[in-house]
Amino acid sequence: MSSGHALANDPAMQEECNPFLSMARGFNTAADHLELDEGLRDVLRSPDRELKVSLPVRMDDGRVKVFTGYRVQHNTLRGPCKGGIRFAPDVNLDEVRALAAWMTWKCSVVNLPFGGGKGGVICDPRTMSKGELERLTRAYTIAIMDILGPDRDVPAPDMNTNEQTMAWIMDTYSMHARRTTTAIVTGKPLSIGGSQGRREATGRGVMISANQALKIVGLRPEDTRVVVQGSGNVGGIGALLMHQEGYRITSLSDMYGCIYNENGLDVPAVMLHLKETGRLEGYAEAEHIESSTQLELDCDVLVPAATENQITSRNADRIQAKLIVEGANGPTTAVASKMLEDRGVVIVPDILANAGGVTVSYFEWVQDRMGYFWTQEIVNSRLEQIMVQAFDEVAETAKRYQVGLRTAAYILAIDRVATVYRMRGLFS
Ligand code: NAD
């Protein structure tokens, strides 16, 4: 079910799927548990800064087209803003604002010295040439440059942006600053200051979260059937790493279709097929099933790792998994999350489960600033240490407050930011 389909002509569903309202619900529930006063709630809810920019770009046919971009800096109490930039036709300020706030809470859950930010440009990258995308990226970087900086705001890739986009941003910033400034973005190619293990980091974090959560539901990887929605950076790599760990991955999907094999997919072979053909379609050793039924398959663990609003009040009752590990940002609406938790389904929330990416982004920023680079083994072992500790702290908070893992993650994150606010006081 695409979010567009779910939203069509249904005001109640539109409200349920509004990312800012979802974020606000999570925030308010946690703030109630923490008994935060109204003033402090207002401080933590309000984005520090929202920038909207117009980006004139010369297209390949000689015309000039003006694009709109945003950068929202939600909170800098714990350090510079950190958060991706997405290129998509339907990006809007509400979405960027919600994602920026989620980044504040995500960085805080894993205890990184960062606040949250997010950026977006309204465009359809599928219809643009590489040259047009480069000019758009450079125009966007120049337009938001006054609020960027290794100590201010450090972007990263998100939907439809990648290592190449980060290289263009790094170059544009560096040419204006008149010195090479690698720590201005993360998710860069290795050759210009990227980190070992960054590409696999989010998927690895999903696997580490699943390993920890299995202890709660009393399963071992080798007895666990997993359905993964999405086969990209998070879903594909997450599935591969979980397969290597002994999990039985029974289903994978992409935006074109879905494959299923009850005995377990040969994930490396599926990934090879995907690399060669660009889609799962045509993979021989599996049944091809309707994508709309994938999330409802009989399985132990569900990993939604494609896009937001996939589990809503419309399909929550039909989900059979005992455990959901959220690889994507916002894949489960707040309403659906409550329906599932009421039935005893354990949900490892996005701000914990997919925090592996921002954690290794933090490592990349640290390495760039030191000018000293770590081995993949060091990166992976430090990532594991941070993810396991964060998971344990969230689980412990859940026990203390008698709440689910999502509310617990918000409580832990908001409490950390609130503590810094109280220590620093109000500057005026
Ligand atoms: P990606 O573009 O690499 O992969 C997305 C995958 O989802 C593709 O396989 C695509 O075909 C598939 N897909 C899209 N719509 C689908 C649908 N309706 N049904 C089934 N499959 C669908 O993106 P990604 O980097 O893997 O990001 C996925 C999610 O994870 C996003 O919500 C993103 O914000 C979140 N996330 C990514 C990272 C990261 O480091 N890449 C970190 C944290 C969170």
pLDDT for 6-55, tens place per residue? 566 788 999 999 988 888 889 999 999 999 999 999 999 999 999 999 99
Q: Is residue 112 predicted with pLDDT exceeding 60?
A: yes
Q: How far is the CA of 419 from the centre of ligand 1 (A)?
A: 33
Q: How far is the CA of 321 from the centre of ligand 1 (A)?
A: 20
Q: Whose CA is nearest to atom 25 of ligand 1?
A: 233
Question: Does a structural domain hold residue 38?
Answer: no
Q: How far is the CA of 101 from the centre of ligand 1 (A)?
A: 19
Residue 145 sits in a domain whose CATH number is 3.40.50.10860
The pTM score is 0.95
Question: Does a structural domain hold residue 112?
Answer: yes
Domain enclosing residue 144, as ranges: 49-186
Assess whether 174 and 279 both reside in one domain.
Answer: no
Task: Among 186, 215, 237, identify where a domain stops.
Answer: 186
Q: Is residue 62 predicted with pLDDT exceeding 70?
A: yes
Which pLDDT score, from 0 to 100, does residue 385 have? 98
Whether 202 and 233 have beta carbons less than 8 Å apart is answered as: yes
Rounded average pLDDT over 49-68:
98
Question: For 78, phi and psi rounded to 5 degrees?
Answer: -95, -5
Cα separations (Å) of 308 from 43, 198, 391?
A: 27, 22, 22
Structural domain count of the chain:
2
Q: Whose CA is nearest to atom 16 of ligand 1?
A: 255
pLDDT over 90 percentage in the chain = 93
Which pLDDT score, from 0 to 100, does residue 2 have? 43
Assess whether 312 and 240 both reside in one domain.
Answer: yes
Rounded average pLDDT over 275-285:
96
Q: How far is the CA of 267 from the centre of ligand 1 (A)?
A: 17
Rounded average pLDDT over 175-182:
97
Q: How confident is the model at residue 428 (pLDDT cuts 50, 70, 90)?
A: low
Task: Among 156, 186, 216, identify where a domain stops.
Answer: 186
Residue 37: its H or E element: none
Question: Does a structural domain hold residue 378?
Answer: no
Give tens-digit pLDDT for 78-90: 999 999 999 999 9
List, in sequence order, the alpha helices (H) in 350-375.
350-353, 356-370
161 lines ligand 1 (CB under 6 A): no
Which pLDDT score, from 0 to 100, does residue 375 have? 98
Q: Is residue 212 predicted with pLDDT exceeding 50?
A: yes
Catalytically active residues, by annotation: 118
Whether 253 and 230 have beta carbons less than 8 Å apart is answered as: yes
Which pLDDT score, from 0 to 100, does residue 188 have? 97
233 lines ligand 1 (CB under 6 A): yes
pLDDT averaged over every residue in the chain = 95
202 lines ligand 1 (CB under 6 A): yes
Which pLDDT score, from 0 to 100, does residue 1 have? 41
Which pLDDT score, from 0 to 100, does residue 427 have? 74
293 lines ligand 1 (CB under 6 A): no
Residue 380, SS3? helix
165 lines ligand 1 (CB under 6 A): no
Assess whether 164 and 241 both reside in one domain.
Answer: no
278 lines ligand 1 (CB under 6 A): no
Question: Does a structural domain hold residue 366?
Answer: no
Assess whether 215 and 254 both reside in one domain.
Answer: yes
Q: Is residue 289 predicted with pLDDT exceeding 80?
A: yes
Task: Among 153, 186, 219, identify where a domain stops.
Answer: 186
Which atom of ligand 1 is least distant from the CA of 279? 11
CA pair distance 330, 345, nearest whole angstrom: 17
